[in-house]
Structure 1
Amino acid sequence: MAFLDTPENVQLKRFRRRLRSKEKLRRRNRLKHASPYTNTGSRRRFRGNNFKGDYLDIVVPETLNLVHMHAETVAFIQSFWHSVRSSKNRIRLIFDDTKSIQPAALLLLLAYIDRARILYGTAHVTGTYPKSPRLHRALVDTGFFSLLRVNPRSPQTRVTNAVRYIPFISGVTLANDASRKLREALMGEGMQMSIAARKKLYRAVTEAMLNVVQHAYPKETQFDLRVRKKWWLAGSVNLKEDRLQILFCDLGVGIPKTLPKLYAWEKIRSALSILPGVNPNDGQMIEAAMIIGRTKTRQSERGRGLNDLRRFVELVSSGELKVFSASGVYTFQSGGNESIVNYGNSIGGTLIKWTVPLSSVTNWSPEPDGGLIDENETT
């Protein structure tokens, strides 16, 4: 056999050449498939984490929508999070075929991505840019790229979306100025929110934050200190459809798990008018929290609790509040109509969505010219 007849030093040189060739090939492949989410395309291994250099590609569905495609959307996001926690490979989200992501679904996905990057490193989750110009524009406007500390791609064509988004806001404490920053970013120049709407919005957002700080991440649960009490806030304005939407999300244990720690099961069942021994589903637990009205603390001076979430939409004739928590969804509409839905999979936290007519809470008028109304001239 020729190989055995080759001198030992020649064998060693050939062996080293083969290793170098294989390493060069691996480097070329890594650069070829470098993610646009990374600034340099480098593939450095994690220090202190046993992650492999290869990516686990996860294809994002064509549409993500928590209202009309709840089960499919939540199943995808939970599958992504399971991969983050269990895979030894870094995760690459493939947005190539994604055309539409509803704002609530986008906030939930972003929260999970942000948490993954906090826990496992900023290079652990990456992805491809969406081919849809409108979706790319929406991701830029919402701050999807900046919050994840990556550079957005320069758009080849200028796209104007009907919806105006503001960058996501996140924090880990009660931020008293978050409502004001959100309002100012949404309104822009000239547009102003009514004083009554400002107060109700402030109370609603503050109540949501208090729920996170006080209850969403119990001490007895195994939440990492880096993500404990974390929340995310977003908003959008649609002038064409006269709509203002505000979103708030946390990835805590959810209302269905925190409510029994605040109130006896007898009181919860009594609020729902169900028989003793019957276990309510997650949708019913959210409804019970709204009925009882004070899920935040046992102190009487805390007032109305979760009912503060409804006050903002009660200002208008056609507002809507949706509370997604665990596998349940609670809906409250102006006028008092309430409904609940229970799904088979959990979002892994709580997401609150307020939707109101823009013209009902601001000085903006849905006229053809999109004019602003001078408050001094209104009756």
Structure 2
Amino acid sequence: MMTISLEKKLWLPDGQPPGNTITKTVKSPERLCLYRAEWYDETLAFFNEFDTLVLRQGFYVVLDFSDLKELTAAASLMLFAKVTRCQCCVPKVFAYPGAVVSYILPEDKAVRDVFRKSGLWAAIKPGGESKLDRLWNDINNPYKTGNDPSSQMGAIIEQLLKQVGKLPRKIVSALQESYLNIAHHAYEGFKGGPVPLHEFMVGRWWQFVKWNPKANRLSLVLYDMGVGIPDSIRPISHAVEQKVSDCASIALAMKSGVTRFKIQGRGRGFNDIKSPIDANPSAEYLLVFSGNGLVVYRSGKKVEEKLHGFSIGGTLIEWTFSGVGK
């Protein structure tokens, strides 16, 4: 068992963090995975537990991954997002906010190497916004977060081109539309709420690029913690149906001509977001998690939907392609 802690100067002699001296350990399930229904709920429960302990109850946390056997792409991105939100949005009770999360790494060497070699550790290690800014200087790290697509889009495309070479058709326009929708609209529903939106979270998105050069397989995963598609499109969907599930709301957003946002010049709905799947023979699928719903889209048709017990806490989109690249 290997424990990753902070620099010694951040810890008291008895091993307790400074400030609030109470630390809670949260044990990870054996699999952190959003793709399989049997693992989805316990994955979300784990994320929600440590998120609540830090941001609502004011505890330091140790995330115990010792029994972890599998960490999949979308779950690793959510881990990055949840941890960095804790590190950058903690209450003032914490003397060292960047030290709010520490880790026990997996005993399984292959899974431990996922943390060390994939760029994940550099993304979730103790630190705050300056650590996240440094990720932009590491073109080889596939984990990125930002809130200014106009200035950051160039770096994203540069990274993709360096890693993958030739990109799937229309993926750049799909990413641009997704970033702009997040920046302009995803967090609008929180304005005027009882708890002000933290400055760090305004327009915030997280991204992970998984590239397997041996298989020529590419996955791009994008996550935001906004209000989600169902809550933003329900005013439109209610004109069609009296009661609409989260899956039905996502499916409605995917229909041609339906836009999530009623603002002139903004919001092309899912036309741009779906287009890489329709335009590339190499496309495998588009996954859209939002609210409690999941919709899977392949080549012009919705092929699967699933209503889960836990909300994704925003929207997560994944495009996956095979047989692409250099």
Give the TM-score of the pair, scaled to structure 1: 0.71
- 1:111-141 Cα offsets, whole Å, 9 max, x none, are 0110011012111111122223322322234
Shift of 1:338: 3.6
- 1:153-177 Cα offsets, whole Å, 9 max, x none, are xxxxxxxxxxxx8431110122454
Q: Is the 8 A contact 2:55 2:89 kept in 1?
A: no
Q: Is the 8 A contact 2:12 2:18 kept in 1?
A: no
CA distance in 2: counterparts of 1:34 and 1:43, whole angstroms: 18
The corresponding residue for 1:77 is 47
CA distance in 2: counterparts of 1:297 and 1:148, whole angstroms: 36
Q: Which amino acid aligns with 1:65?
A: C
| 2:106 aligned with 1:130 | yes
CA distance in 2: counterparts of 1:176 and 1:42, whole angstroms: 34
Inter-CA distance 150–125: structure 2 relative to 1 (3 Å threshold) = closer
TM alignment of 1:218-233, pairs within 5 A: 218=188, 219-221=191-193, 222=195, 223-233=197-207
The corresponding residue for 1:192 is 165
The corresponding residue for 1:370 is none
The corresponding residue for 1:9 is none
TM alignment of 1:24-43, pairs within 5 A: 36-40=4-8, 42-43=10-11
Of the three residues 321, 324, 340, the one matched with 2:289 is: 324
Aligned with 1:352: secondary structure?
strand
The corresponding residue for 1:308 is 272
Q: Is the 8 A contact 1:243 1:357 kept in 2?
A: yes
Q: Which amino acid aligns with 1:265?
A: H
CA distance in 1: counterparts of 2:262 and 2:207, whole angstroms: 23
Provide the aligned length of Structure 1 versus Structure 2. 297
Inter-CA distance 342–213: structure 2 relative to 1 (3 Å threshold) = same
Give the TM-score of the pair, scaled to structure 2: 0.81
The corresponding residue for 1:206 is 176
Q: Which amino acid aligns with 1:252?
A: G
Larger radius of gyration: 1
TM alignment of 1:25-64, pairs within 5 A: 36-40=4-8, 42-43=10-11, 52-64=20-32
Inter-CA distance 287–335: structure 2 relative to 1 (3 Å threshold) = closer
Shift of 1:208: 1.2
TM alignment of 1:164-313, pairs within 5 A: 166-175=141-150, 177-178=152-153, 180-188=154-162, 192-194=165-167, 197=169, 200-218=170-188, 219-221=191-193, 222=195, 223-260=197-234, 263=236, 265-266=238-239, 269=240, 274=241, 277=242, 279-291=243-255, 292-299=257-264, 301-302=265-266, 304-313=268-277
Structure 1: segments with no counterpart, 5+ residues: 1-32, 152-164, 365-379
- 1:206-241 Cα offsets, whole Å, 9 max, x none, are 111122112211222432122221111111112344
TM alignment of 1:142-157, pairs within 5 A: 142-150=118-126
CA distance in 2: counterparts of 1:327 and 1:237, whole angstroms: 28
Aligned with 2:270: secondary structure?
helix
Structure 2: segments with no counterpart, 5+ residues: 91-96, 128-139
The corresponding residue for 1:25 is none
Q: Is the 8 A contact 1:245 1:354 kept in 2?
A: yes
Aligned with 1:314: secondary structure?
helix
Q: Which amino acid aligns with 2:84?
A: D
Q: Is the 8 A contact 2:66 2:106 kept in 1?
A: yes
Q: Is the 8 A contact 1:172 1:231 kept in 2?
A: yes
